[in-house]
Structure formats: structure tokens, C-alpha cells
Structure 1
């Protein structure tokens, strides 16, 4: 058997370390599972948890409007610094009514992708190509000279997303899938499989949390939450978002994107066949 190359050994060791770290976090949370399961989750209330804008000179924020909104309303520590896994799980359940398995999965996978297994500040999530990724619908890509992505939303990009609303008032699954397809078309190379799934999962949760029974998200709500990172007046997370809901929604977005992509490809071939041009 030929000896393994040095980089192969390093990759193997890193994978082992990652697996052990994931196992350690999971075991610790399993020991606390009864406490987490029976922990009373305070009722969502914008009167008790009003919006307080972040201090730009001190408070830590991420490229994720969902977590920034939780900090701006005090469901997470307002400074966004050094939160525990338990604090993230509790805030996701209270602010968005995520099921315990989904809140735990997001928290653990976030720590694993960042290779950071203790306290986590929101700014840590800006580290490029860990959880944060190119082709975001809400913020610009990380510059090649920088390690961390912008944590401020882009009004221009958000306007581009909301322009896909088919009725000007709500965003449907198809509208968001169309926005994702357009954004990813700007790139010569597709996102890798992990970040494709993250990107679709983000939109799946937006639809599930804010979309209500009909799955239509009010444009005004989306702008308020995404651009200003605050919960819109009138919103209350009455419907629980589960891990299964999120996976199913991501798959539906993927299928919609695939269908639209094939249609665009077919229309392009027809134009070329008729001697037209793009």
C-alpha cells in the first residue's frame, strides 16, 4: 500500500477533528435535552421586546437578518457578543417559533461550519464561505482581499428581489425561486452543494415563518425585516417551523428553479433557432 500524501493526512485529521467536535457538541446538548425540551419559552411580544437599533461602534452583527433582528429586539444579547448555544436555541424558538430539532440543528451546524465550538458572536458568522456565501439575495459578496463579508443589507439587492413579486404585494415560493435563479445567473460557476442548500433553506424558512397558511410573504414585512432587521408590526410566529418543513420547502424551491431554468434554456434555443439574439 503506497504511503499517503501529506495533504491527504492533514485532510483526514481535519475531518476526524470536525467529527469529534460535532459529536462533543451533540452529546453535551443531549445531556441537556430534557431541560431544553421542558424549558418554558416566553411568549413572543414586541411590547416586551421592542426594537433597539444596534450601536455601530460596539454591537456585533452578522450578514443574517434573522439573527440580527433577534439581537435588535433583545431575544439574543443586544450586543451580539459571546452567546451560548443554549441562548441561540432559545432565541430561535421564541422569536421564530422554530421546533427544538430545527433550532438545535441550525445552532450545532453553525458552530461546526465555523469550527467554533464555544461562545459565538454574530460577527463570527460573517467569515466568508463558512455559513455566509456568495450570491446572497441581501448583501454584497465578500471582497477577495477580505476574510469577512459585509454585515449591512443592500437596498439595491433587496429591491431586485422584491421586483419579482408577481402581484406587487406578496412574495411566493415561485417569486423567491425566480429571484435566486436570477442572482445565481450572475456567476460563471455555481455555488457548491452545501451553500446552495443553505441559500435555499434560508428562503424556505422565510416562507414558512412569515408566509402564513398560503405561503405568501407580505412585501412590506419582508422589507422591514430584511432591510431594517426588525420584526414587522402585526407579525407573530403562530405557526411552528420544523426541520421537515424547511427541507421540504428547500426541495420545492430547487424544483421550481430547475423548472424555470429549463424553460429559459428552451426559450433561448428557440430564439437562436429563429436567428435572434439575446
Structure 2
């Protein structure tokens, strides 16, 4: 599952600065009932459960999405509007002016494989919370505070599991951008955006209940969340998901030189380069 509407929906922010109580009065938590729509994005479902957007999950217009994200998460109107533009494509009607949470369930449109909390569509339901999937995700969150590297590890692990066991696995470059926004969301929504950390208990409560963790002491941030905040966070997560390190964090060449295995690998590498070179030379001679 994914997306900068909703992925960036998941990009709601709680920075560590001065806070103010979330106005839950008037927005009690009421889970979805019969006939209510819900989708693959935990945050949009949560906002619906609290009534910041339509509780029935229908008729999500630009106006009420901007209003709901602003009141519930202190989103900048421009950011909320961008998110609406990304979600409106889920409505197949020409010139649609609204979408429903149910329409977001369409596989490989906005929803995608390797979600942190949902099963892949290949295995059945792709939009209802899956405890087994989430347990795998949580296993990479070590300790009471989640940092960006732990989030990155859980993201990569979910992709690897999906790729290994889902024969219809799809994860495009566009999906990657959506996924980055979704995965960084817990820090932006509930954590410290300077140090890129978040209290694990808040994140687990949110995912498992689709409920804002105000009962655990969370309060909505007072600073408005803007598009540039989302870009900075997703950029940091993108770097954290890399499985290679730069030279500043690796063993020095001198240290590697003392490793006999390094000498062997270097020799093989040089040999392959020489063979490739002479193979190309021979090919050029043949052609002439």
C-alpha cells in the first residue's frame, strides 16, 4: 500500500516543539460500521474513525480533505491539496471531484505490495490490518524508541519477503516514492522530526487500533506540516534504506589490505577486467 496523498497522508506531523491538546471533543473515536468504507491507508482510516473526514469514507472532496487534514493533523492546505490530487485518480469517473476510501483499494494504482501492515493482494485482502504482517514489521523495531534506520530496515524486509513469496510482486520506482512517504509517516505524525525518532508505543497503538494515540499522551503538533517537511523526511529515509555505505563509514583500504580475502577478491576482479578487455579486442579484430 502507498502514496503521497495518503502516503503523504501518513506524512502528518508531530514535531517535538510546543504542542496543544488535540481537540478530541467533537471527534470521538468511532470504528467503521456496516456500510462504511475504509481503505489501505491507516491514517486516512484513522481520520475517518475520528470524524475529521467523513466517517462513512465517502465523498472525499478537495474542500473536506483539506479541512480534515488541517484540523486533525495540522497539514498545510497546499500539502493537503497535493494529497487530494494524488488520490482523486482512484475514482474512475471522468472529471471526478471526489473519491471514496474504498476506491483506494485498487491494487497497483495507489495501494501496493510490501505494506508494513497489510497483506499483498495476491494473498487475499490487501486493505485490512494484518497482525502477522505487522508483527514482522515490528520485529525490526528494536527498543522503546524507533529510529529512522529501524523503519528503513522494516521497509526493506517487507519488500524482500514480498518479492520472495509473492509471484506477482510489483514495486515500481513510483511505488518506491509512495512507500517512502508512508514509512516515514510515524515519525512525522507522532515523533521527533529533528532526531528522526518516535515512541514505539504510539506507533503500535496507531497501527493496531487505527486511532490517534491521544490516550497515550500524544498531542497534535502546533507547527504546520508543509510539503518541504515531507520532502526532507522522505529523503532521509531514502538514504537509510541503502544497503551500501560510503567510504567514511567503511573499513580503510589499508585495513582491507591486511585481509587475505580482500587480496584474493581484488585479484579476481582485475582478472575479470583483463579478460573482458581482451574479449572486446578479439571481437574488434574479428569484425575488421
Which TM-score applies when normalising by structure 2?
0.69
Report the Cα offset of residue 113 of structure 1.
Answer: 5.6
Tell me how far apart the structure 1 counterparts of residues 46 and 113 of structure 2 sit (CA, whole Å).
21
Report the Cα offset of residue 174 of structure 1.
Answer: 0.8
Query: Deviations along 1:203-258, whole A, 9 cap, x unmatched?
Result: 22321121135332211111111111001122222143221111121121111111
Gaps of 5+ in 2: 1-20, 252-260, 266-288
Q: State the superposition RMSD in angstroms.
A: 2.7
Q: Which of 45, 51, 59 in structure 1 is aligned with 2:29?
A: 51
Q: Which of 47, 50, 64 in structure 2 is aligned with 1:87?
A: 64
Gaps of 5+ in 1: 1-42
Instruction: Tell me if the contact between 2:52 and 2:71 (Cα under 8 Å) persists in the aligned partners.
Output: yes
Tell me how far apart the structure 2 counterparts of residues 152 and 48 of structure 1 sit (CA, whole Å).
26
Note the 1:257-276 alignment, pairs <5 A. 257-259=241-243
Tell me how far apart the structure 1 counterparts of residues 224 and 195 of structure 2 sit (CA, whole Å).
15
**What secondary structure, in the 3-state scheme, does the structure 2 residue paired with 1:171 have?**
strand
Based on CA coordinates, which of the two structures has the bigger radius of gyration? 2
Aligned length, in residue pairs:
221
**Matching residue of 1:163:** 139
C-alpha distance 170-115 of structure 1, shift in aligned 2 (>3 A): farther
**Matching residue of 1:254:** 238
Query: Deviations along 1:163-187, whole A, 9 cap, x unmatched?
Result: 2223x21211111001011111121
Q: Which of 206, 211, 218 in structure 2 is aligned with 1:225?
A: 206
Tell me how far apart the structure 1 counterparts of residues 117 and 245 of structure 2 sit (CA, whole Å).
22
Tell me how far apart the structure 2 counterparts of residues 78 and 103 of structure 1 sit (CA, whole Å).
18
Q: Which of 173, 176, 196 in structure 1 is aligned with 2:148?
A: 173
Tell me how far apart the structure 2 counterparts of residues 228 and 260 of structure 1 sit (CA, whole Å).
36
Report the Cα offset of residue 134 of structure 1.
Answer: 0.7
Tell me how far apart the structure 2 counterparts of residues 236 and 120 of structure 1 sit (CA, whole Å).
29
Q: Which of 131, 138, 142 in structure 1 is aligned with 2:110?
A: 131
Tell me how far apart the structure 2 counterparts of residues 172 and 59 of structure 1 sit (CA, whole Å).
35
For structure 1, which segment, 122-131 or 218-227, has the greater mean C-alpha deviation from structure 2 after superposition?
218-227
Which TM-score applies when normalising by structure 1?
0.72
Alignment partner of 1:208 is 2:188: yes
Instruction: Tell me if the contact between 2:90 and 2:99 (Cα under 8 Å) persists in the aligned partners.
Output: no
